[in-house]
A and B are shown apart, each in its own frame.
Chain A
């Protein structure tokens, strides 16, 4: 039996800056996971991924990452995605230090 679909977000790295971005429901790329579209339907997820992959002039390496609904929008399920939305743990660099929008 196929595994049950778990909620996802479309994420990638920005082409120019290289930092982590997420696809929003209104087709923007945001730096904030909390603004990402949380996708609960598998077929819709594939469509949204295709939409992300179709923008090679903006992003690199789009993929579907597991996420769950939190109080303030989607939250990571896996620790790798937690680091991606925060930044490294040895310096206050990356997202934890920068909160600008695309």
Chain B
């Protein structure tokens, strides 16, 4: 795992020192709120509905046990004993007091963590596939290049006043788990005749005007990557709309100018700046790559696993839903669900964080990952250790066997916390999960991703949910719109709206009608919700949603 260099540590310490003084100057009145706000946002500090909120970066979603324990400590010392893992592979603390934030940042710096560029019109925390370095289907680990981009983009002098925020995601696998097509830039590592390079996707994004990213370049070499990215951001920095916040993201620039014109401008800019990259970036990349060397995996037989799998139905069920194939066949990638039925998606208590840290240290080569789906991952576990891991998780309330199922819901904080929200998300997620748990249907339903956002900014990725739910304020009442058929993977698609929205009381029964329609129409239990939707289209679901509801009302 990447360790801070002296330069990194000094940089973060200096930034923290500056911020401590900025907080002091705000409190003693030397800075107005208008002056202070951009400074606090640069350091991840928001003012939300009920309190300040500190957003901490977890670069490419990777944590070690020491870092996880420090997050637990911060949650207990300065917050309310829990943290919220987000769809951007960050963790948010919902209740800090202004005076305590400099101490929280110092505590983070002790374990090589920070909150820099988790907000503001900069290149944000770079996200990556949460199975990086472990997945059986991977071409190369996406984290070294994500770290390279983090170093290149942090305080990049040309990019401190961008038209708007800019988000980059990297996948090292053709099976896209990093939602690269819904980012300003998505990078996919590809292998062309033995040479590693990058497919560059640009102009994706959700929010008010959702767009699926377009391929800007099919293959960019490692040598050309940073100048190419710099050219892309540079072109947008000049063209991007600063007159209208809603038209400022690169997706709009690409849409307005067309991908071909953007490509031509990027290539022109690239030619100009390419000579200024001496190759030092590639040397740095090689050094970073060495820090991400794969762990020395242990070899043992898997008899203990096989025996437990055969004997214990609860363990078996957990394995069937929460494990994914590791590149080493006697290992597994284990997902820890932060979606216990009725719990807040993405929340973990300090105690749970410590349990996960201990498991990573004891059984998982000291590695933890945070997924954009708001779960935690032990990326390298030997199968023989899984029964012990499962037992420890069960004890901590972390053994919910629901990864990829209907209760594994992404939900943004919504109006329970967020100052931008137009409706709540969390209670809707809680009610859906509890309802389908009561029906004992979720394993029968199978692969189904519900994603909920509490406003059109779409932090909950609702556009790319198989079922998306968007909470709005309709004349002073919470109202929920449904979209169907969204897809966040390499076959990315935006969901289509079903029609009029539903009240908070009506939304769970509405979801139930959609799910029952799917169960009625699917070819076989092997046909997942999304496949059925693609085969039969919107019609039958609309009928189930609106006409059956009327029929019931008329009875």
Contacts and interface: CB of A to CB of B under 8 A. Distances in A.
Interface stretch (A22-30, A33-41, A44-52, A73-81): A73-81
A63 to B, nearest CB: 11
A77 B32 contact: no
Contact of B430 (A78, A83, A90): A90
B51 interface: yes
Given A20-B50, A87-B50, A93-B95, A15 B427 contact: no
A57 B24 CA distance: 12
B370 interface: no
A20 to B, nearest CB: 6
A4 to B, nearest CB: 17
B500 interface: no
A-side interface mostly: loop
B477 interface: yes
Interface in A66-102: 77-80, 83-84, 87-91, 93-95
Interface string B135-153: 0000000000000000000
B72 interface: no
27 contacts: A13-B51, A15-B98, A16-B97, A16-B98, A17-B51, A18-B51, A18-B52, A18-B97, A19-B50, A20-B50, A56-B32, A57-B27, A57-B29, A60-B33, A60-B47, A61-B33, A79-B476, A80-B49, A83-B415, A84-B50, A88-B426, A89-B416, A89-B424, A90-B344, A91-B80, A93-B50, A93-B94
Interface in B379-419: 415-417
A84 B80 CA distance: 18
B478 interface: yes
Interface residues of B, number: 31
B476 A84 contact: no
Contacts of A79: 415, 473, 476-478
List 9 tightest A-B contacts by C-beta distance, closest first: A88-B416, A18-B52, A18-B51, A94-B50, A90-B344, A90-B426, A57-B29, A16-B98, A60-B33
Nearest to A20: B50
Interface in B32-82: 32-33, 47-52, 80
Nearest to B345: A90
A13 B47 CA distance: 8
A15 B45 CA distance: 13
A72 to B, nearest CB: 21
B415 A56 contact: no
Contacts of B426: 88-90
B516 interface: no
A78 B29 contact: no
B47 A83 contact: no
A89 B427 contact: yes
Contacts of B27: 15-16, 57
B50 A18 contact: yes
Contacts of A16: 27, 97-99
A56 B33 contact: yes
Given A18-B97, A89-B426, A90-B344, A80 B415 contact: yes
A13 B53 CA distance: 13
Interface in B421-466: 424, 426-427, 430
B98 A18 contact: yes
B309 to A, nearest CB: 35
A28 to B, nearest CB: 20
Given A15-B98, A16-B99, A79-B476, A56 B50 contact: no
A88 B50 contact: yes
Interface string B11-22: 000000000000
Contact of B97 (A17, A56, A83, A94): A17
Given A77-B476, A79-B415, 20 more contacts: A13-B47, A15-B27, A15-B98, A16-B97, A18-B47, A18-B48, A18-B51, A18-B98, A19-B50, A19-B51, A56-B32, A79-B478, A80-B473, A87-B50, A88-B417, A89-B427, A90-B344, A90-B416, A90-B430, A91-B344
Contacts of B48: 18
B427 A95 contact: no
A89 B424 CA distance: 9
Nearest to B430: A90
A57 B47 CA distance: 15
Nearest to B100: A16
A83 B49 contact: yes
A19 B94 CA distance: 11
A13 to B, nearest CB: 6
Interface in B302-361: 344, 347
A68 B544 CA distance: 40
Contacts of B478: 79
Nearest to B53: A18
Nearest to B28: A57
B85 to A, nearest CB: 15
Contacts of A60: 33, 47
Contacts of A80: 49, 415, 473
Contacts of B96: 18
Contacts of A61: 33, 47
Task: Name the residue in B32, B49, B95, B477 with the highest tally of chain A Cβ atoms < 10 Å from its Cβ.
Answer: B49
A72 B99 CA distance: 34
Nearest to A16: B98
